[in-house]
Structure 1
Amino acid sequence: MKSILYIILVHCICSSFILGNIPQKIYSITRQNLSADYYHQQADLWKKELDANAQNKEAWFNYFMAYKILFEKGKVDRFSYERINEALQKAIPQSFESNFAQYALTQDINALIKAYELAPKRYETYADLISYYETKGATSQVMDLCKKWLVSGEYSSGMLHWNYNALIGLDQNAVLLTAGDNHTHPLWLLQHGKNIRQDVQVLNLNLLTQSDYRNSMFNHLGIPTLVSNNKPDIVSHLIQNIHQQSLYLGVSVPKGLVKEYEEELYIIGLAFRHTTEAFNNITTLTNNYENKFLLDYLHTNLLDDISQDIVHQNNVNYLPAFLILYDYYQENNEWSKANTIKNLSLKIADAAQKGDDLRAYLNKSFKNRNSKPMIEISHREIEEGFMPLDYNLNLYASATEVSNEMYEAFLTDLLKRKEFEQLQAHKTYHSDWKSFLPTKHQNLSDDILFKNGAPNDKNTPIQNIRYESAVAFCDWLTTVYNNIEHKKKKFKRVQFRLPTEEEWMLAASSSSPNADTNTIFKQYQHKYPWKGLFVKNRQGCFLANFNNNNEEPCDDCKNATSPALDGAFFTTYIDAYFPNQYGLYNTIGNVAEMVQEKGVAKGGSWLHPYSISTIQAKQSYQKPRPYIGFRVFMEVIEEGNQNNVRKGMMGPPGTLHLQGKLYMDETEVTNLDWLEYMYWVEKNDTDNYRLVIPDSSVWVNSLPNSISFLKYLNHPAYFNYPAVGISHEQAKAYCQWRSKVVNEILLLNPNSLKRVGTVLYRLPTEKEWEYAAKGGLDKKQFPYGMESLINAKKEKKANLNWSSTESSPMKESMVTVPAYSYWPNAKGYYNMIGNVAEMIDQKGIAKGGSWHHNKHQSKIGNKISYDAATPWLGFRCICETNL
C-alpha cells in the first residue's frame, strides 16, 4: 500500500513539474486573465520554442500574445512590445500571425481582414471584425462571423448562459444599451447565431461614439441625431428620446453615466429598465428568475471553460437582483424559495471569492423589512411611543429607551420564524450586577437594590446586547410597522434606525440648530436637557440616573434614606424622571445610548458620574455592556398617498406648516414681495438700497426679445411672478429683513406672538427643501413629488422646458408664470418643481428646475449649479417658530 501511495505521489510531482515547463496557449485577456508572472513565464517558455525553431508560427503567436497582455497590464513598455512584432514580421511575413500582430499594434483594419482571409477559421479575428462590420452596416458579414464563432466552440459557455439571461427577460422590441464590445458580442452571437431575441436592438456604447454609426442607429430608432461623441451625452440622449420602446441599460454601463437617472432605473435581473413612471419591478424580476432564466450552470458546470474565473466574477452581477428576491420571498413567507436563492447567492459569491463579504452583509443587514411579523403589535402602540422633533422635518424619536419587553417581542418573533442563527446572534448577555457596587453596598438585599426596577424587568431598558442587535431590532420594527394595514395608520412607510450623533444631541437638547440663541450646533449652552449646569433640583434630588456613590444624600427628597441617591443603583424604569421639552425620557443617564457610529454611545448611564453624562460627552464600548442600550429614531419615508396627505396649516405670513415648528413659503418669493423689501430699505437704510436691487440685465443674454423683461420687476403685470436676478447674498439678506419685520409685527399682536413666538426666516437646507417638495411621497418612487407631471387631460403640472424632452400639442410657457400657477403638491406648496429653480442655504446649488430646465434636470433629488444671478433662479423662505 505504501508503495502505491509513493508511486502516486511521484507521478503527481512529476506531472506538476512537466506541466510547469510546457508552454501554454495564450488567450486574450477577455477570455483568461492571469497574473503578470504567469505571462512572463509563458513568454520565456515560448521563446525557448522559437530558439529551437524560428519558423514556429504557433510559438510566435503565443509569444506575441504574452507580450501583448503584459503591455495591456502595464508590465512592459511599448518599445519591447514593438520589438517582438518586428521580429515576428521578419520571421514569418505575410502570415496570419504577422497580419494579426500588425493589426494589434496599429489598428490597421486591412491587416485584420488579411489575417481573416488567410485563416477564416481562426476565431481570434472575429471580435474586432464583428464590431467593424457592424459600424459599416454590413449585417450579413456580422451574422456570418457570429455563426462561425459559435461553431468554433471558442466562446465561453458560462458567458453565453449569462448573456442569455440578460437578453431573455426584456420586453418585446426593447432597446438594450451595453458598455462595450465584451458585453455586446455574446448578445449578438445569441441573436445571429441562435436566433434568440432578434427583436431586441442591442446598442454598443463604445461604437456609438462614432458619429456616422451613431446617427445611423438613431435614425433607425426614429430619434433625433446627436452631435456629441461623449458617452454621458449619448446616454442622456437615449434616455430622453426613446419613448416608443422599452429602454434597458446593461449592468455593465458605468454608474457615473446614469447617476442623474438612478431614480428612474429598475433592476429586472441583469439589466435596468428605464422609465419615468412608477414601476413595480418585482413582478418582472420574479417571472424572469422563476420562468425564464437558465440557472443550471450556476449550480453545476459540466463543461471545461478556460474563462471560468471571469464567469465567476461576472456572475456576481446576479446578486443585487437575487437579494431583492430574497427579501420578497420572505415578505410572502415563501421560506423555501428564500433559502434557495440565498444559498445560490452564497454559491455565486464563494466562487468569486466574495463569500465572506456577502455573509458579512447578510449578517449586518439582517432585515425582515418586507416580511410580515408573526406577533401582533398595533400601529397605534408604535406611533404613540414616538415624539416629533421640531425643526427636524420627518424625524421622530422614541420617548423612551427600548425596554426589555419590546426587545423580547423581537426575539419571540425570531423564535417563531425558526431563525435560530439570528436568535443566537441577537441574544442578551448577562452580568454580575453586584460586582459593580462599592464594597459598602454589596451586601444589600435585592429589595433595596432593585426597589425601582431590576435590570431584567419588562419596563427597564434593554442592555448588554451587540450593536448589530440594535440595528437588527430597528430593521425588524420597520418591517412590523410598514406591514400593518389600517386606515388610521399615520404613515405609509417609515424607517426605524439608530440616530446619528448629531441627531441624538439635537433631540437631547430639544433646541433648533439654526436659532439665534444657538448658532453653532456643536457648542451647546447647556450640558443637560433641563437647560442648566446643575444636576439636582431644589430639594437636592438628582434629575437623572447617574453614578452617585460619592455624593452625600439629600435631606428632604423622597426616599432620602435610600443608599441609592438618585433612586436606583442600576437601571430604572424607562419613563423615570422628567422628560425634556420634546417629551424624551432619560436622554441623560439610565443607559448610555448607541448612535450610528459603532462603538460610540451618548448620555451616560447608571455607571457614569454626572460630569461625563452630558449632551456633549461620548461613552465608548467594544462589546455588550450592562450600561449600554439604545433609543430608536423614526424617519418618515412616505406619509401617504397624495389624496390623504393633509395640506399644511397656515403659519406666519405667507407660509404653510411643514413639520414640527417649521413653516415654508407657499410660493416662491414674488416681485411684489421684493418691491416691499426694496421700499423698506429705501426708507430705513438708504445707504444700502443699491445692494438690494435685482439684476434685470440677466434677461438680455437669455431671451432674444428681452426688452420687455427689463421692466419685469416693476411692471404690475409681473407683480405675482417669482423674483429673479437675485444673488444668494441678496436672498439671505431678504430673509434676515423679513425676520426682523415679522417679529416686530408679532410684538404688536400678543395673540399671534403667543401662537408662533419669535420667528426666524432663512433659506432652506437641501434636506428641508426636498422634504417639502416630496409632498409626503417617496421621492424614489415619485421623483417629482407627484404621481405624474401630466394629468388625465394631458395637461402639464409644472412650468418646465418641455421642448427638450418630448413633443407637446400645447403652447408651452417659455419664461416664468405667476407664483400660484399650476397645481400645488399634497402639502400645498406651489411650483416646487419648475417655474424658477430655488436657492438653498448652500451657495451655488439650486433645486427643482425651472422654465429653462427639462424634466430630468428638475427631479427632486437633482442639483442645479449657478455662479451668478439668472432669470431662472429664485427662492422661497423657510420659517422657524417658537424660538
Structure 2
Amino acid sequence: MMNFSKYLRFAVVGACALASCKGGPPTATKPGKYSSTTGLEYNTEDGMRVADYKGIPEGPGLIFIEGGRTVLGSQEEDVTMTHDNIERTVTIASFYMDEAEVANIHWLEYLHYARKDSSEEFYQSALPDTTVWARELSFNDPYVDYYLRYPGFRYFPVVGVSWLQANDYCTWRTAKVNERLASEGDEDGGSTKKKGGLFGKKNKGGDAAEGTEGDGKTKISIENGNTLPNYRLPTEAEWEYAAQALIGTQEPGNENQENKRIYPWDGRQVRNPYGKGMGTFLANFKRGRGDYAGIAGSLNDGAMITEYIYAYPPNDYGLYNMAGNVNEWVQDIYRPLSFEDVEDLNPFRRNGYLDPSEKYDKKGYQSLIDDHVRVYKGGSWRDVAYWLSPGTRRFMAEDSATAAIGFRCAMINAGSNK
C-alpha cells in the first residue's frame, strides 16, 4: 500500500508538472523532469537516467545533405549498353557527407595511430598500394614513392585504397572522433564537465554521474548522446543523390522537380559558362585520347593526375569533386538489376539477398560478378566525361585498388527527419 501511494504521488506530481508546463510538449532536447507517460521523475536514485542532450555533435569535415524525393538513374545515353541504372523515383533520408575526398594527409594520420595503437599486422594491412601508379609502358615511377608521403601532395585524394581498407578507415575515424569528444567535451551536443555529463564527478553516494564509468572515466554510449554515429561509406543512392545536388535548382514552395542535371552542375557542358573562369573545366577528367590537362600556357583542368581536393567549384550542397578527380567507393555490392530490386526508401544493395552470385558464371569467366564486388561512382582524372554523370556506375573487387579510386565518408542524421 505504501509503495502504491508513493507511485501515485509521483504520477500526480508528474501530471501536474506536465499540465502546468508552458513550454509545449516534451522534445529530445527538453524531455522535462518527469515522464510524460508514467509521471515518474527522471534522474532520481530509482528513476531512469535521462542525459542532457543538445543535438548531434558536429562531425569534422561533414556537410549536411537535406534528403527528399528524387529520380535516380542515368541521365546520359547508355553508351556502354549495360542498362544497369534505369531511372526510378526514390526518397533519400537526410544525412551527412564529407565535403571533400579523404586526402593523403588524412590517411597518414590514420597510419600514425594504427602504428601507435594497433598490431604491426594491422598497420601493414592499412598501407595503400602505391604500386597502383606503376605502369609498364609509362614513367609514373616517381608517384609510387612520392604521391602518398610528399608534403606537396598532402591534400590530394588518397588512392590505392581498397573498399575493405576504406571501411576500416571509417571504423577508426568513428572511434577516434568519439574519443576526442569524450576527452575534450562536446560543446554542441553533450553535457559538459560542470553539468556532470561527459566528465561528471562521482556523487556523494559513490555512484558515477551519468556519462561516466565507476572509475570516473567517460562512458561512451548511445543513450548519453555524447557520441557521433558511425562514419561509413555512403550508399550508392546517397552518393548519387548528393552528387545531383538538385536543391540548387529547386524553387521555394514548388514541390515539383522541374529541372534535371547531367552533371553535378547546371547545363549540358563540362565548362564554366560564367565569370572570370568562363571556359575552364568544372572537373578533373580526361578530355580525350592522350589529353589529360590541356596545353602548356593554356592548361584547362590543369591536372595531369589527381588534383587538390578543394579544386574546382563545389556543387550546391557544398561538396567538392563529386565528378572527376577520383572515383569513389560506395557501400553497395554490384548487381545489374539493383534499380528494380531495392526499395524506394533509402535503397541499398547488400550481400546475400536476392539475385545470388551463383547465377553469375565467374568460374567460367563469363562474368565478374560475385558478392565481393562493390560499386564505385563519379569518374576520375583518368576517365572521359561520360563517367562524370552521377547516374553512371561501375564495379570492382572489394580487395582491389587503383590510382583512380578514392572515397569519402558519410553519416546518418540521427534523431531528425529534416
Matches within 5 A, 1:452-601: none
8 Å CA contact retained: 2:182, 2:226: no
Distance 1:697 1:727 in 2: 13
SS of 1:653's equivalent in the other structure is coil
Output aligned runs, 1:670-709, within 5 Å. 670-687=103-120, 688-701=122-135, 704-709=138-143
CA distance in 2, matches of 1:689, 1:780: 47
Work out the CA distance in 1 between the residues paired with 2:406 and 2:328.
Answer: 5
**Cα pair 1:857 1:864 within 8 Å, conserved:** no
Determine the structure 2 residue equivalent to 1:831: 321
The answer as to 2:344 corresponding to 1:863 is no
Contact 2:159/2:401 (8 A) holds in 1: yes
Residue of structure 2 in register with 1:849 after alignment: 379
- 8 Å Cα contact 1:758-1:881 kept in structure 2: no
Picking from 283, 299, 315, the partner of 1:798 is 283
Change (3 A) 1:882 1:857: closer
Q: Distance in 2 between matches of 1:773 and 1:694?
A: 26
Q: Which residue of 2 aligns with 1:771?
A: 241
Q: SS of the residue aligned with 1:871?
A: coil
What is aligned with 1:719? Answer: 154
How much has 1:747 moved relative to structure 2? 1.1
Residues 679 and 881 of structure 1, relative CA distance in 2, 3 Å threshold: farther
User: Match of 1:761, as an amino acid?
Assistant: Y
Aligned in 2, Cα 1:762/1:732: closer, same or farther, shift over 3 Å?
same
User: Counterpart of 1:824 in structure 2: which amino acid?
Assistant: P
- Relative to its length, the structure with more helix (as a share) is 1
Structure 1 residue 786 corresponds to structure 2 residue 265: yes
The answer to whether the 8 A contact 1:851-1:872 is kept is: yes
Distance in 1, matches of 2:151 and 2:258, equals 37
User: Relative to 1, partners in 2 of residues 1:701 and 1:754: Cα closer, same or farther, differing over 3 Å?
Assistant: same
Cα shift readout 1:112-154 (whole Å, capped 9, x = no counterpart): xxxxxxxxxxxxxxxxxxxxxxxxxxxxxxxxxxxxxxxxxxx
In structure 2, what residue type is equivalent to 1:657?
A: F
Query: 3-state DSSP class of the match of 2:97?
Result: strand
Aligned partners of 2:241 and 2:290: how far apart in 1?
Answer: 26
Q: Closer, same or farther in 2 for the Cα pair 1:754/1:699, shift >3 Å?
A: same
C-alpha displacement of 1:750: 2.6
Distance across 2 between alignment mates of 1:869 and 1:710: 14
Q: Is the 8 A contact 1:846 1:863 kept in 2?
A: yes
| Alpha carbons 2:161, 2:402 under 8 Å: kept | yes
1:685–1:795 distance in 2 versus 1, CA, 3 Å = same
State the one-letter code of the partner of 1:662: F
Give the fraction of aligned pairs with identical amino acids, expressed as a percent. 33
* One-letter code aligned to 2:158: A
Equivalent-residue separation in structure 2 for 1:830 and 1:823 (angstroms):
7
Contact 1:694 1:724 in 2 (8 A): yes
Aligned residue for 2:65, secondary structure, equals: strand
2:227 corresponds to: 758
Counterpart secondary structure, 1:818: coil
**Residue matched to 1:821:** 311
* Secondary structure, aligned partner of 1:784: coil
Whether the aligned pair in 2 keeps the contact of 1:822 and 1:830 (CA below 8 Å) is yes
For the residues of structure 2 that align with 1:685 and 1:779, how far apart are their CA atoms? 52
Rounded to whole Å, the distance in 1 between the matches of 2:103 and 2:259 is 30
Residue 805 to residue 796, structure 1, CA distance change in 2 (3 Å): farther
Q: Distance in 2 between matches of 1:698 and 1:741?
A: 28
* Residues 703 and 652 of structure 1, relative CA distance in 2, 3 Å threshold: farther
In structure 2, the partner of 1:624 is: none
Q: Where in structure 2 are the equivalents of 1:612-623 lying within 5 Å?
A: none
Out of 395, 407, 410, the residue aligned to residue 875 of structure 1 is: 407
Structure 1 pair 744/557, CA: closer, same or farther in 2 (3 Å)?
A: closer
Q: Is the 8 A contact 1:651 1:657 kept in 2?
A: no
Once residues 723 and 697 of structure 1 are traced to their aligned partners in structure 2, the CA distance between those partners, rounded to angstroms, is 13
- The one-letter code sitting in structure 2 at the alignment partner of 1:800 is F
The one of 39, 54, 64 equivalent to 1:657 is 64
Q: C-alpha deviations, 1:540-580, integer Å up to 9, x for none?
A: xxxxxxxxxxxxxx99999xxxxxxxxxxxxxxxxxxx899
Q: Shift of residue 659 of structure 1? A: 3.1
Q: Runs of 4+ in structure 1 displaced over 4 angstroms?
A: 554-558, 578-582, 777-780, 804-810
Query: Could you say if the C-alpha distance between residues 555 and 796 of structure 1 is closer, same or farther in structure 2, counting changes exceeding 3 Å?
Result: closer
> Within 1, Cα distance between the matches of 2:178 and 2:324?
31
Paired residue for 1:735? 170
Q: 2:330 aligns with which of 840, 857, 862?
A: 840
Deviations 1:764-803 (A, max 9, x none): 0112112221222469721212114211321100001111
**CA RMSD of the aligned region, Å?**
3.6
Is the 8 Å Cα contact of residues 656 and 665 (structure 1) preserved in structure 2? yes
Deviation at 1:819, TM superposition (A): 0.6
Q: How big is each residue's C-alpha offset from its partner over 1:830-877, in whole Å with a ceiling of 9 and x where there is no partner?
A: 101000001011242111111111111220111122222000000000
Question: 1 or 2 for the larger relative contact order (CA 8 Å, sep ≥6)?
Answer: 2
Residues 641-656 of structure 1: pairs in structure 2 closer than 5 A:
651-656=58-63
Structure 1 pair 651/555, CA: closer, same or farther in 2 (3 Å)?
closer
Structure 1 stretches of 5 or more lacking a match?
1-537, 540-553, 559-577, 583-649
1:686 deviates by 2.6
- Distance apart, 1:701 and its partner CA: 3.0
- The 1:860–1:557 alpha-carbon spacing in structure 2 relative to 1, beyond 3 Å, is same
Give 1:735's aligned amino acid. C
Report the residue type matching 2:386 in the other structure.
H
Shift of 1:749: 2.9
Greater Cα radius of gyration, structure 1 or 2: 1
TM-score, normalised with respect to structure 1: 0.26
